[in-house]
Structure 1
Amino acid sequence: MPESPFNLQEKTILITGASSGIGKQIAISIASMGAKVILAARNAEKLTNVKELLDGSGHIVLSLDITDEIAIAAAVDKIPPLDGIVHAAGILKLAPIKILDFDQLKQITETNYLAPVNLTRLLLNKKKIQSAASVVFLTSVNGVYTAVKGFGAYAGSKSALNSISKVMALEYASRKIRFNTIAPGMIKTEMYHEMIKQVSDESVKEDKLKYPLGDYGEPEDVANAAIFLLSAASKWITGTTLVVDGGLTII
């Protein structure tokens, strides 16, 4: 039987935002495909708990705030050569433009856009991202394909990631380093469960009707997309977006 193109054996992959939600599930899923995982997030205890769930050995916990420029610069020197990165760190806050203040805008933009771009830039400049590596940014259908009232700062940060990933794909194509994004619809993460506390059950039920496949997605749905983009199965794909939204954007 030929070797599966989705195999991640012998690959070292950095996951930001790996302590919870989609990032946690991506770490679990890619470890099950043979990858060695570098788990990065602020909470060391949560990262250690995630590490204990991973198949295989050689996984690394990297506790740091990716918005801290000094900490990131120091961490880059300690990170081993990478075959892939998934930037899953991000925050979501409901703030209509009328009440959105600069501090909120700055926090969301720094976490969702500036921090992952800066970390990637430093890793590239230090030659820590190997030729033929794959870099994946988690964006969103919100801001790239749709718009939702109250999420202007979030949508703007995700749209910016979508745009710069295309430029990176062009600039590093000669080294066969691929840059792609995954744009999920609503996914049932801890962030989702906190958010729905602010709205009625009827509103959630009505919103689910917008999804042709009938429900919100699971973290595994995004993790499977990440496996594809990290693996040799997608070796001729760069500068594009894989939409994982249950059909939301086709309506």
Structure 2
Amino acid sequence: MKMNNFLLEGKHILIIGASSGIGLELVKLCFEKKAKLTLTSRDVKKLKTDLGLSENVKYLELDVTNEYEIKSASDKIEKVDGVVYLPGIVSLYPVQFINKKHVDLVRMPIFDGAVYLVSSLLRSKRINNGSSMVFVSSISSSYPYKGGAIYTSSKAALETYSKTLSIELASKKIRSNCIKAGLVETKILEDTRENVEKEIYDYHIEKYPLGVGEPLDVANAIFFLLSNASKWITGTEITLDGGLTAGA
């Protein structure tokens, strides 16, 4: 009898930044598939209210830009079989006006937090052999845009970091991969829609042959990378962009 590898039942999954649109959909999907979950957010009270889940779910308050909170959270986390890292912030800064404050604001939640968290989890032996790590990146790491120097560079650094993890941890069968996502119907896109001219917005949206993505589209891909169905995939990126870059 063949085993169904598209399962997470019994696996313990740590989701960092679970309160995002993608994060919320991923939590619901993993919960439905009977995974044990540890969820982090800067606002745990709101996250609990939004999800309404308690069985097999543990919540931790965590600001990924705070090293002390990362260490404290790592000590409280039971051994995990999967780690998903979602935090990020999008702010536009023309290159001639960038200063350290701007760099830290954008880079720290995207890149620094991921590095410090994974290091802390590994030192405390919280990641089981055979686990899977998934980092949510962006197609902009390969296709930069005006004003996005810090954001796109931070995402590119995250992808290279993930590749290094895949090499260093291969002996433990720990996998590390990235999702390179295009525009997805999240609050960020909603804010963009409200703050740019309709003609400009429509121009960019029309470039997506399959339209913009839904949070569940990304959650499904992450689920695949967490499952045993992807056990031979590591050190790579999966592009989810509705065909936007197919002819690029």
Cα pair 1:142 1:155 within 8 Å, conserved: yes
Name the CA distance, whole Å, in 1 between partners of 2:99 and 2:164. 30
Q: Which residue does 1:131 correspond to in 2?
A: 129
Q: Deviations over 1:146-193 (max 9, x none)?
A: 111111110011000000110110000000000000000001101211
Query: What is the CA–CA distance in structure 2 between the aligned matches of 1:151 and 1:30, rounded to whole Å?
Result: 32
Unpaired runs of 5+ residues, structure 1, are: none
Residue pair 2:184, 2:214 contacting (<8 A) in 1 also: yes
Q: 5 Å matches for 1:12-31? A: 12-31=12-31
What CA distance in whole angstroms lies between the structure 2 residues aligned with 1:204 and 1:105? 26
CA distance in 2, matches of 1:65, 1:32: 27
Equivalent in the alignment of 2:88:
90
| 1:17/1:24 contact within 8 Å kept | no
Residue 9 (structure 1) aligned with residue 9 (structure 2): yes
- The residue aligned with 1:46 is 46
- Is residue 23–residue 89 contact of structure 1 (8 Å, CA) maintained in 2? no
Equivalent pair of 1:217/1:245 in contact (CA under 8 Å): yes
User: CA RMSD, aligned part only?
Assistant: 1.3
Distance 2:165 2:20 in 1: 27
1:1-251 paired onto structure 2 within 5 Å: 2-52=2-52, 54=53, 57-143=55-141, 145-213=142-210, 215-251=211-247
- What is the distance in 2 between the residues matched to 1:196 and 1:110? 26
* TM-score for the superposition, normalised by structure 1: 0.95
Deviation track 1:80-135 (CA, whole Å, cap 9, x = no partner) reads 00000100111111222122222011111111000011101110111100000000
Q: Look up the equivalent residue of 1:14 and give its one-letter code.
A: L
Determine the C-alpha separation between the residues in 1 that align with 2:134 and 2:95: 29
Matches of 1:185 and 1:59, distance apart in 2: 30
- C-alpha distance in 2 between matches for 1:194 and 1:46: 20
Deviation of 1:202 after TM superposition, in Å, equals 1.4
For structure 2, the 5+ residue unaligned runs are none
Contact 2:186 2:215 (8 Å CA) reproduced: yes
Q: TM-score, normalised by structure 2?
A: 0.96
Looking at structure 2, the residues matched to 242 and 19 of structure 1 have their Cα atoms a distance apart, in angstroms, of 22
CA contact (8 A) 1:113 1:160 kept: yes
Which amino acid in 1 is paired with 2:12? Answer: T
For this pair of structures, how many residues does the alignment match? 247
Deviation at 1:19, TM superposition (A): 1.2
Contact 2:24/2:51 (<8 A) preserved:
no
* Shift, 1:34, TM fit: 1.6
How many angstroms apart in 2 are the aligned matches of 1:2 and 1:47? 38
The 1-side partners of 2:50 and 2:195 are apart by 28
Q: Which amino acid aligns with 1:159?
A: A
Query: Quick one: distance in 1 between partners of 2:164 and 2:118?
Result: 13
Task: Output the CA distance in 2 between the equivalents of 1:118 and 1:247.
Answer: 34
